[in-house]
Structures are given as C-alpha cells and as structure tokens.
Chains A and B, each alone.
Chain A
C-alpha cells in the first residue's frame, strides 16, 4: 500500500472555475427574472381568490360561491371532453403527418410541411370564423353535419384541431428529425420488417416528443377561449367562464377562482410530462449519421395522399376566411370588396392596433429567443447548484401549466398593485412583451432543451479540457449548431405574439390595442366580415415572416450546417 499522507476522510468538493461562477450567476439571474414574472404574479392571483372585492380575507367563500353554481361542473366536464377529443385527433394526425414528412420519400415535402404549419400563423379566431361561414346557420356545407349544430363541441373540436395541429407537428418533427441512420441500418441488418422497426426504433425515438405534443395540445385546447368564444354557442367551457367573469361582470375575484380551477388540469398534464421527460437521452452526437429515408412507391403514394387531404382542409379553411373578408355581404351580395379592411371605421383600434401587434411581435421574438436559448443552455450545462438548475427548469416550464388568460389576469393583479415599483410598465408595450414571452416560454424552452440534449454531452467537457472559456464554446459550437432551433423559437414567439388573444386581452390599453384583440371585439360587436379581414391580415403578416424565416434558414443551413450533409463518397477507412 502506498502510504497515505493524511487520512483524507473529509468529503471533497471541486472548486469552482471562473466559467462555473459566471454560469451560476447567469442561472441565478434567470431564476430571479422568472420568479418575478411567473411566480410573483401567480401568487398575487392566488391571494386574490381568497379576498372579497374590498381586499378583505374571506377564506373559501369565493370557491363555495362558485361551487354552488352547477355551471362549474358542466364547464369542467365540457372542457375535459373537448380537450381530450381534440388532443387525440390532433396528435394522431400530426404524428402521421410528421412520419410522412421525415420517413417517406413522397414528393413535395417542403410544400406539405409549409402548408401544415399554416394554421399556426392564424389567430384561433380565424378557423372559428371560417367554420361559422362553412357550417353555420347559413353555411356552405351545413348539410354535411346532418342536422347537428356547429355551435358547440363539434365546432370547438374542429377549430381546436385545426389551430393546434402545427404545435403538435413542430414538436414531433423535431423528435423525428433526430433519427440516426445507423439505428435503421442496424434494424434492417437484423431483418426487422417495417413494422418491427417502427415499434423498436421509430417509436422509442420519438416517445418523448409524442408525450410532449399531447401535453401541449391538451393544455392549449383546455385554456383557449378564442374558438369556444366564437363558435361555442351555449356550450360553456372553463376558459370562457373566466372571460365572462372578468370582462363581462368585472368580477376579478371570481375570475381568479375559475383561473385557479383551470390551473388544475393543465398542472396535471404538466406533471405527467415532466415524468416522461426524465427519460429522454441524448440522441444526436457528432458521430450520428442523419437519416436518409429510402423510397418505397406504395408507402410514398399513401403518404402523399394523406398529406394532400390534410393540406386541402387547411388551405380550404384559410380560403373561406379570405373569401369572407373580401365579399360585400354573405350570403346576399357576393361582389368583391376591400371595404372590410377599412378598420379605422369600426371599433377595435383600427390600423394602429395592427402596428402595435407588429411592434409586440418583433420585440418578443428578438428578446425572447435569445433569452430562452441562453437560459436553457445555463439550465442544461451549469455544474454545481443542481437545485437552482432544477428550480429554474421548473419555473421555465410552469407557464405551460398556466393558461394565457390566467397569466393575463395575474399580471393585472401584480403589476397594477399600487405598491409595486414595477407598476410603471403597466399599460405600456413593455408589459405586453413581457407577458407574451412568459406566456409562450415553456414551449420555447422545451424546444431549446430538446435541441441541447441532442448535442453530445461531452462538448463542454472537451472545451473545458482545452481551456476554452464557456462563452466561446457556446458562441462557436452550441449556438451555431442550434441556430435553426433558435430561429424556430424566434418565429414561434413572433407568430404567437401576432395571434394571441388570451394573454393580452386583459393588458392592452387604449394606446396599445392589438390586432388579435380587435378581431375578438369586432366579432363580438357583430362586425364579422371586418373581423375575418383582420384575422386574414394577421395571418398574411405571419405568413410573410414565416417565408422570410424559411429563406434565411435555408441560406443559413447551406452555410453553417454543411456538416449535416453526408457526402456519400467520403473516403472510408483506407
């Protein structure tokens, strides 16, 4: 035995390097910011639910008052039914669609992908308006419902599936995109058939994405109030209850109560997702070989057929809105007009609200994507302070369990409190930007984390051994490799800022009216055609930005992602 210099029995810890300190500091700042913008407002909301209008503590009185109305159980039942049905339909369709896009050799993949993502560019009010034109009392296709009414669960589910489809698709595409060719080659060499390969390689590879997608869709549906507001008729759901209490009756306390109830299903789904996420493993290393699907005429034809059907429905719904926006008076005068775009003549804020929406979307995308990705990196890679990383992760995902409508309400309570020095931003564009980034934080964060998990975990270790500061490996490896994901996040934030209603509906001021809210207000006031026109304008803007994004990303992929192209004639081992 080599003699021991000292007993050395005390538990050892490694000292922190400068990088470690910088990262921990960054993580701490991120944690504080999220606490201030997520936890504090929600806490205020929680307090509010236990107060009367004057601010006195009343215990559970508000809850009891609500529970005594049978409307609650009915709305809850409605919400769950609609959300589960829409989730099942939406995730199934999105899974099949994602598979076709990544694993088949059908033609026109780029076009199908573009069309499938189209609904994300429109406010949820748009499909609802279109469905009214299609299946409403004077609808074009009313006969297809065989007497059933579109105003109710049928309309809500249809509208929600349309609107949430791209959300599920994006998550599943990311999951599908990380396949390693070698796994498939291995399966093939083991004579596994298509079906066996699917269950042994494909499904496990996207399992995490599948669970995430279901979770996201369920939460989006149960918390959305745009679709049920327009097409729900008398079919009440939780989200419309909050809206009615707050906007209709100015009953903030009761709004807070319903908001808290709305948190429950979203939170349950959230917990389930976290459980599943713990099992994710790194899939894409430098040595992975990107998957190149092999042609198979029958499969490719079936895939093309399926995708065409989905694409036709999507394009159809947008076309109906465009149609509604550009004819004089449905169904009596079908002549063409641009008159519905003269927003300054109807209530809702006019063209100014459109400009405000652009400002909001721009800032949200720029600040949001950089902040989200950087904080996700810190959460994933900071050594030491594990509890802080875990806590920040939890806060970053928390918004997913918080319906936009609840978050908006919480922001009123928190930022409008007289004692709050941050109250200065109340009524300004800043609070709208903040609310929007926070509202959509979780999906953006998950996208960033999923990307980071796919990178080889030893990248940072190697950088450390080479004495390269962490920011340099972040800037020259992690960020460039992840740039498509960062752009995806920016686009996601931009488009959601353009289209969202639920978060900002409580927060806009006369100076900061927004286009999406204008759609809601115009539809409410019976100006359906201008509402369709504004919805279409939002859609067109989002679409234009999406196209620019695609072009930029393509140029970028060509330049910085050259490594993804596998050169088949690369020399094998000599």
Chain B
C-alpha cells in the first residue's frame, strides 16, 4: 500500500511540506453497478506535473473529468487551492483542458480559437491580441495565426489547443491523452515542448496517458492506476526502480518476472537455482514470491566465476534495438525466459551469437521481491 512516506517532496522544495494545491480525498465513481474508481486519494503540489498512467479502461479519463467538474464523483471530495470544490460545476472551477480530439472550433481561425477564452472579459482588444500573439509565440505557431484548424497538421492543432487552454492563465492544466493521436516523432518532440512550457509557466498539470514512456519522461510524479485504484505514486525513478506491485513493475518499462519460493537467509529458490536477495527483502508472509529484475540490470559475461546470483543461460535470440541489443536468454534450471539489455559495444566485445552459453549476473540489490504469485 502507498503510504505518505512514499510521497516525495515536490521539486525544488526542501522546506517543510507545503499545502497540496489539488487534493482528492477518497474519490469513488460508480456507473450504475460498475465501479470505475475505488477510493482514489491524491495530492498534487503547486507547479507539479503529474501523470496518471494505466491500461485502457482503468478510469483515468473518469478521474480527470471529476477533477474538472465535468462529472460528479459518487463519493469523496476535491480540494483546490485550499477550498473544497467537490460540488462546484466546471464553469466555476479554475482549469484549462486539452482533449485527445483537441475540439478546436473549426469555423474560427487559430488566433480566434486562442482568443476565445479571453475575449469579452473586459480586456482591451489590444491586450487580447498581445496575449494571443504571446501564446502563439510560446507554442511556435505565430505564422499560422490566420489559418483554420483543418489546415493544420495534427501536431500544430495540438499546440493550438494547448495555447487556447493556457490563454486565460488557469492555475490547473488538465491533459487527456494529448499526444496519443500523433505519430511517434512528433509525439516525442511535443513531450519535451509541453514539459518545457509547463515548467516555464509553472502551471500545475495533471496529464492522463496510457503511454508509460510518456509518463516516465514527462512527469514529476507518476500515478499508476489499475482497475480504478491507485497502485503507486512516486517519481519516475521511484516507480521504475521500486515498483510497489508486480503490476507496476510490469506496466512501467520491461521486466523479467520469475516465480520463486522463499528460503531462509534472504534467499529465494527459482526452479533449480537459488538466488540471494538484499538483506530483509524477503521478510514476508507467504511462501511463494515473485522476483522481478529489469533487463538492463542483468549483467552478461563469459567468465563462469562462482560468485552469487550467477546463472548460466543460452542465448536464444539477439534483438537489435538501435542503440542497444536485447538478448533473449534461456537460463539453465529456470523455466521462465530472461531478457537482458547489452550495449552494442558489449555484444561486439563478447562476440555474442545465438546458441552460445553465457553467464548472467542478477545483482541482489536489483532484485525486487513481491509476495504471492500474481498469476
């Protein structure tokens, strides 16, 4: 379970914990008899970039719509900037939102789309125009101001939607899979741009995505959801290095999963092999455990030294991944396959070929132990 101790101190704040800017308390959402969200509690601090990540249908969009006040939670409370907003309709909350479909107004030019939320608010025309220009500059679309949305590429439309949402300077920005309709390259570039923009404006942001890579690269903290529950909250490093559940371990990044049996003395038997774990890591209640280790944490060598956690394995396949290789290994005495990442350099040095035997080291401090066998 997630405890307060797991929640890290927000970026740049070494002082005592500040009050959370957005606080969800025990939010539940029911659609008829189906429960989409079970008791979600979450704190988001000012200026933070939070990514909610999880498989399709886990309730991310539902959660975002509740934060926005577009749907009512069945039970639970929402606080923003210290005030309870649980029952406020969307029109009286303070947020900007970008949808996967962008929902740009097709009959208005880019400039008028961006101006939509700041016109007719007692702001002088000149000031509106300045603000629009400023925002279009910010998202790099100053040249496109007079075009209509249908005349823009997907990435450009996305940035217009972002500029429109940011125009009234909301204190909270909500993004629902803003990049999922784009191709990989544009997506990768926009990730960086959105993040930079968010830092620059310091706007508190909650983004929903089912792309774990997006979450890992963009977020200050990641909220991993599964089946309407939060499995873990933490910085990208925390959730990646120390996944709280086997689900988180497998969902974020790639993971080798080995079924094992607990032995005395911080040891686990996996098939015919006995592996050593970090001291205290194996203190649990059940006999069966799950061992997890990331492909990049497995070291491959030729030497058959007799040190701990060395496993002999046959190379089944070498997969070229661009800057590195993934070796698919069949370890001796273990039924489950293993994947290990090697640099191109290492592959050359070892002159690795499929069918050969190598020694794989599973460093004990990289082994995660979960109790019970999930599948």
Seen from chain A, the residues whose Cβ lies within 8 Å of a Cβ on chain B are 1-2, 4-6, 8-20, 285-287, 289-290, 383, 456, 458-459, 461-468, 472, 476-477, 480-481, 560-564, 566-567, 570-573
Contact = CB atoms under 8 A, between A and B. Distances in A.
B107 A465 contact: no
A468 B116 contact: yes
Q: Which 7 A-B pairs have the closest CB atoms?
A: A466-B117, A17-B91, A458-B103, A563-B148, A17-B89, A2-B41, A570-B151
Nearest to A566: B150
8 contacts: A14-B69, A14-B87, A14-B90, A16-B89, A456-B101, A456-B103, A467-B168, A566-B151
Contacts, number: 156
A11 B74 contact: yes
Contact of B77 (A5, A286, A458, A570): A5
Given A5-B25, A12-B74, A467-B117, A286 B89 contact: no
A573 B164 contact: no
Interface in B1-56: 1-4, 25-26, 41-43
A286 B164 contact: no
Nearest to A465: B97
Contact of A12 (B43, B73, B149, B164): B73
B102 interface: yes
Given A15-B92, A573-B154, 20 more contacts: A1-B1, A4-B26, A17-B89, A286-B102, A287-B102, A287-B104, A289-B150, A456-B103, A463-B116, A465-B68, A465-B165, A465-B170, A466-B168, A476-B105, A476-B108, A476-B116, A561-B107, A564-B150, A566-B151, A573-B186
Contacts of B1: 1
A2 B152 CA distance: 45
A462 B103 contact: yes
Contacts of A14: 69, 71-72, 87-90
A479 B284 CA distance: 64
A15 B168 contact: no
Contacts of B149: 286-287, 563
A211 to B, nearest CB: 26
A17 B90 contact: yes
Nearest to B182: A573
Contact of A8 (B77, B104, B148, B181): B77
B285 interface: no
A286 B72 contact: no
B209 interface: no
B331 interface: no
A11 B168 CA distance: 32
Contact of A468 (B43, B95, B117): B117
B70 interface: yes
B164 A462 contact: yes
Given A16-B89, A17-B89, A570 B152 contact: yes
Contact of B157 (A287, A383, A468, A472): A287
B26 A8 contact: yes
A179 to B, nearest CB: 14
B91 A467 contact: yes
Contacts of A573: 153-156, 186
A15 to B, nearest CB: 5
B295 interface: no
A8 B75 contact: yes
B148 A12 contact: no
A571 B101 contact: no
B89 to A, nearest CB: 4
B97 A462 contact: yes
Given A12-B75, A17-B90, A567-B151, A461 B97 contact: yes
B92 A466 contact: no
A399 B120 CA distance: 40
Contacts of B107: 477, 480-481, 560-563
A285 B68 CA distance: 22
Contacts of B92: 15, 17
B302 interface: no
B89 A20 contact: yes
Given A12-B74, A573-B186, A2 B43 contact: yes
A267 to B, nearest CB: 30
A354 B107 CA distance: 40
Given A8-B25, A12-B72, A566-B151, A286 B101 contact: yes
Contacts of A567: 151
A18 B91 contact: yes
Nearest to B41: A2
A19 B91 contact: yes
> In terms of DSSP, what is the predominant structure of the interface of chain B?
loop
Contacts of A12: 72-76, 86-87
Nearest to B104: A286
A14 B71 CA distance: 8
Contacts of A287: 101-102, 104, 149, 154, 157, 181
Nearest to A569: B151
Given A560-B107, A570-B152, A458 B99 contact: yes
Contacts of A13: 72, 87
A286 B157 contact: yes
Contacts of A286: 101-106, 149-150, 157
A481 B87 contact: no
Contacts of B154: 287, 573
A563 B150 contact: yes
A13 B90 CA distance: 12
B95 A465 contact: yes
Nearest to A567: B151
B153 A458 contact: no
B353 interface: no
B307 to A, nearest CB: 42
A462 B154 CA distance: 18
B147 A570 contact: yes
A375 B101 CA distance: 26
Most chain A CB within 10 A, of B26, B107, B181, B186, is at: B107
Most chain A CB within 10 A, of B90, B95, B181, is at: B90
A122 to B, nearest CB: 35
B260 interface: no
A466 B72 contact: no
A42 to B, nearest CB: 34
A562 to B, nearest CB: 6
Nearest to B96: A465
A568 to B, nearest CB: 10
B41 A472 contact: no
A383 to B, nearest CB: 8
Contact of B148 (A289, A459, A562): A562
B363 to A, nearest CB: 33
Nearest to B79: A5
A385 to B, nearest CB: 14
Contact of A477 (B87, B108, B156, B167): B108
A275 B192 CA distance: 47
Nearest to A20: B89
Given A563-B149, A573-B156, A2 B101 contact: no
Given A285-B101, A286-B150, A15 B87 contact: yes
Nearest to A562: B148
B170 to A, nearest CB: 8
B72 A571 contact: no
Nearest to B185: A573
A1 B24 CA distance: 12
A515 to B, nearest CB: 38
Nearest to A4: B26
Contacts of B116: 463, 466, 468, 476
A459 B105 CA distance: 7
Contacts of B186: 573
B282 to A, nearest CB: 25
B89 A466 contact: no
Given A468-B116, A563-B107, A15 B101 contact: no
Contacts of B147: 570
B97 A1 contact: no
B232 to A, nearest CB: 13
A15 B70 CA distance: 11
Contacts of A465: 68, 90, 95-97, 117, 165, 170
